[in-house]
Amino acid sequence: MKAKWAQDKLTELMGVEVEKSRGPLGITIAKKKIFSIMIDFDLDRLQEWGHSLFDMQDYADAAELYKKAADMLGTSTRTAKALYMAARSYQLAGDASNAKSLFKRVIKDYPASVEVSEAAIQWGLTDLNDNDPSEAISHFELARSRKLNRQEDLISLFWLYESYKIKNTPNEMQKAQEELINRFGLTYYGIIAYNDSKGVLPKFDPVKVKTGKTYFSDSEDAAFERAKALLQRGLFDEAASELTPLMNRPLNNAEAQILANFFAQAMKYPKAFSLLTSIIDGAPEKRNDFVVREIFPKEYWDLVSDDKLRSEIDPLLLLSVMKQESAFDQRAVSHSGAQGLLQMIPPTAQEVAQDLQTKLGDPKNDMFDPLINIRFCAWYLAKLIKKYDGSVPLALAAYNAGPKRISVFMNSKNGPLKDTWVDELPWAETSYYVKSILKNYLMYRVLYTGLTQLPSPPWSQGPVTAQAAPVQNSKTSVRAPKTTEQAPAH
């Protein structure tokens, strides 16, 4: 018990010295001494401390701990993970040579490990940073020969496509481009590929929107009627609960669209988005204006487009963040305690209140007020964009992971960030978050401002005039007839 306490105390002291080392005096003698004690401990402690230092963003020391742990493990099945974490730590510390060496060991010595695909992707990104597209191609192709999750599949395909572009291999580039468009058309990377191919951004048919036939049972019809009555009384939660069980059975596209339309009316956007996304992912021909606008609604437009906010930040960017953060649920609370439409934690809200020279009436609940939440979060995001010299992606990463973490990440790279940085982040959640919002932003601009070509850079904020395309009211009824029907045009 006493030994564990002492080891935990060592972790705490190391955290203090890591923070000091980021100051003007650099690495302290105490930090070196603590690390010399850490690296001589047993295997389990080495790995635990490796994780701790990685989380503290002390990547150079984390790499050494992971590497020694891997050496101690020998040929254990756990060795691949330790090697991969050592390689990632070197990569994040700006040591490309050691990173590549250990990525290679993972792939060569542990070909059956789950870490191989991740190692191949990160090795490919490191190759691109070293201006070596040929090596990058070989590693992205290796990754794509493995069983990947959807995000790994998209990342490896996009950077393979970019590598082909750099190497100027048009046939391979076109093949990768077509796969991006067909399989990932409404992702950030898919939209970039589409614009590269067509010279314009995607357009969505404004007229030919047919719901098709539906096959609801009598009991389901009765549930719709009850839900409609509850919705008219403003009982959104109760109304949605009547129809939620329908999501447990297979739905055709027409049924999914009707159910999604209802959930949108009840402000249950996560359910609506899930249903609608399943439609357009499985059938690209269904990517029409009617369906896509349901996925990208202009809720709270009167608040985000206020003239004072508009002068600081594009209201469509605020909607893009809001969609990702809360799906327009003003009572949303995250696992970290962030609250409201744009998800701000109370301590940050207090800081913003001081900057705005105002006071919060109820610090624990004010972020649930849409007006206050939007005002505070818009100001804070605009501040982050200025902090990062106009870079919306970096500001979004800081909004999600915290400005301090992003600044440490940037400083650890030993040079200017390359385009690959968003997929090198040590937080997969933040990487996905940034790309999701950038996708949202492009889609909102296509739908509501008539944007036809990809800006340069793609995330640059464009002027949003007071005459931006209005919201179309696609929520005219709770139910549609059971027969094939022409939906409203936009």
Of 312, 325, 351, 429, the catalytic one is 325
Ramachandran region, residue 423 (left: φ > 0; alpha: ψ -120 to 50; beta: rest): alpha
Instruction: Name, in order, each residue with C-beta under 8 angstroms of 142's C-beta and a sequence gap of 6 or more.
Output: 107, 116, 120
Long-range CB contacts (< 8 A, 24+ apart) of 94-101? 94/412, 94/413, 94/414, 94/415, 95/60, 95/63, 96/126, 96/129, 96/130, 98/63, 99/123, 99/126, 100/126, 100/127
Dist. CA 125–CA 119, nearest whole Å? 10
- 339 strand-pairing partners: 333, 344
Closest among 110, 124, 188, 206 to 151, alpha carbons compared: 188
Q: Name the residue type at position 79.
A: T
Dist. CA 56–CA 65, nearest whole Å? 14
User: In a 10 Å sphere around its CB, with 0-12 CB exposed, 13-18 middle and 19+ buried, how is residue 193 labelled?
Assistant: buried
- Residue that the structure tokens 């610090």 belong to: 363
Q: Assess contact for 205 and 289: CB atoms under 8 A.
A: yes
**DSSP secondary structure code for residue 333 in this structure:** B
The reply to whether 325 belongs to the active site is yes
Dist. CA 173–CA 171, nearest whole Å? 5
Q: Assess contact for 299 and 332: CB atoms under 8 A.
A: no
Q: Assess contact for 43 and 72: CB atoms under 8 A.
A: yes
Tokens of 240: 């949605």
Q: Name the residue type at position 5.
A: W
Dist. CA 460–CA 133, nearest whole Å? 27
Instruction: Please list the active-site residues.
Output: 325
